[in-house]
Amino acid sequence: MATEIEQPASAHVGLSKVAVSDTHGEDSPYFAGWKAYDENPYDELSNPSGVIQMGLAENQVSFDLLEEYLEKHAEASSWGKGVSGFRENALFQDYHGLQSFRKAMASFMEQIRGGSAKFDPERVVLTAGATAANELLTFILADPGDALLVPTPYYPGLDRDLRWRTGVKIVPIHCHSSNNFQITPQALEAAYNDAEAMNIKVRGVLITNPSNPLGATIQRSTLEEILDFVTRKNIHLVSDEIYSGSVFSSSEFISVAEVLEARQYKDSERVHIVYSLSKDLGLPGFRVGTIYSYNDKVVATARRMSSFTLISSQTQHLLASMLSDKKFTENYIKTNRERLRKRYEMIIEGLRSSGIECLKGNAGLFCWMNLSPLLQNQTREGELALWNPMLHEVKLNISPGSSCHCSEPGWFRVCFANMSEQALQVALKRIHNFMEQIRERDGNLVISSQ
């Protein structure tokens, strides 16, 4: 780093509020756990007592399928025949994106939904990841000071993605374990009224379906209710369907696209879908996200704004061939689903045998674990008092519900797809031992606050 030169305080040149704010949230427990992992990562051979990362929703269970494809299809990673193929590729920086890739994305999204909804490649806008897609939509749908309603618990990253540079607020839609954290019309109305009471204009509702961190799909009736609500209020609906390909059983996921199709797309210009290949295809490093909007103006604007977050043409080319290969994608989707389901069952069983229950889930790369019976204080502090030894003694990085803004303390998100089966077994064993210790130490299931 450049050596610091002594300067009088008045010479310090200022930075913006965005630069100095902590809206990036990287000082929260969610990210503190990651730091602990980075400093002492588990490795089966070289560091068997290290921290096991269960806080990162990454899908590594189907890498072999991808590797196999790439081995067999060398031309995917080169540039096809001749000069023109390469020339177009290296120079291509059009914010429309490669048409072949958009077509492939649209068809892949259709396949994931079992053909229950159609997607038009002309409505696909490409971004470098869903993170960028969510932020871009927020820039388009809301002005600084406005708000989006988001059901709790939600992905901690949304605090940063929806709010940091945009200046937009999040007003929570409170959900409760009493009905499995489902979104109710009352909760929607209450959130809207909360915003109004604070003199904040609500511009839309953002849901994640399947939900992160719940690991469960949203029911059709709930989707209908949410659609009716946003129509009544004349606001937008953003459905982040990034885990749509990670549903354990194909019939259980209903996309908002299906609901719209059933309504003949009446009033659909307020709906926008976010998707990405980071979870379903396990390729977060590729930085591939998309906004699919039923609103022409939003598509046109998003496309132009995507200049700030374009996907490498080389990556588009590579994935275009892969995703157009229907045989490959069909097999991948099916196999991936199966493997995730098995992992899910493994972890649920393992936790159950340790006396821990989880929310009934059917999708995603994680489960929503209920440790509230163990809390001495049913408060955020009580939850963190449990999370701390989990991280530093048991050496498992799991995500506390409070960082997901869950209204009830004691819930934790535990990822299961970003490690080998062996590592998962080790993790389950550690949890088992931990629970044993608690029973022995206290005679009853209570954790005392440190």
Show contacts with another protein in window 66-95 (CB under 8 A): 66-67, 70-71, 74, 77-79, 83, 86-87, 89-94
Q: How far is the CB of 381 from another protein (least distance, A)?
A: 28
Q: Does 320 bind another protein (CB under 8 A)?
A: no
Which of 312, 354, 388, 425: binder of another protein (CB under 8 A)? 312
Q: Does 46 bind another protein (CB under 8 A)?
A: no
Q: Does 197 bind another protein (CB under 8 A)?
A: no
Paired strand residues for 172: 150
Is residue 5 annotated as part of the catalytic site, yes or no? no
Q: How far is the CB of 412 from another protein (least distance, A)?
A: 21
CA 312, 26, 211, 132 torsion-angle sign: negative
Is residue 279 annotated as part of the catalytic site, yes or no? yes
Q: Do β-strands 271-276 and 289-293 pair in parallel, antiparallel, or remain unpaired?
A: antiparallel
Q: Does 204 bind another protein (CB under 8 A)?
A: yes
Q: How far is the CB of 100 from another protein (least distance, A)?
A: 14
Q: Which of 170, 173, 218, 242 is catalytic?
A: 242
Q: Could you give the angle at the alpha carbon of 271 between the alpha carbons of 18 and 151, nearest 5°?
A: 60
Q: Does 13 bind another protein (CB under 8 A)?
A: yes
Q: Could you give the angle at the alpha carbon of 362 between the alpha carbons of 357 and 367, nearest 5°?
A: 40
Nearer to another protein, 318 or 356 (CB): 318
Nearer to another protein, 231 or 354 (CB): 231
Rounded-to-integer distance, Cα 310 and Cα 416, Å:
31
Q: Which of 146, 159, 240, 280 is catalytic?
A: 240
Binding mask 340-369 for another protein (x = CB under 8 A): ------------------------------
Phi, psi of 271 (to 5 degrees): -110, 140
Is residue 81 annotated as part of the catalytic site, yes or no? no
Yes or no: say if 298 and 77 are a contact pair by the CB < 8 Å rule. no
In DSSP notation, 207-256 reads EESS-TTT--PPPHHHHHHHHHHHHHHT-EEEEE-TTGGGBSSGGG---H
Q: Does 140 bind another protein (CB under 8 A)?
A: yes
Instruction: Quote the tokens at residue 414.
Output: 């535990």
Which positions are catalytic? 155, 240, 242, 279
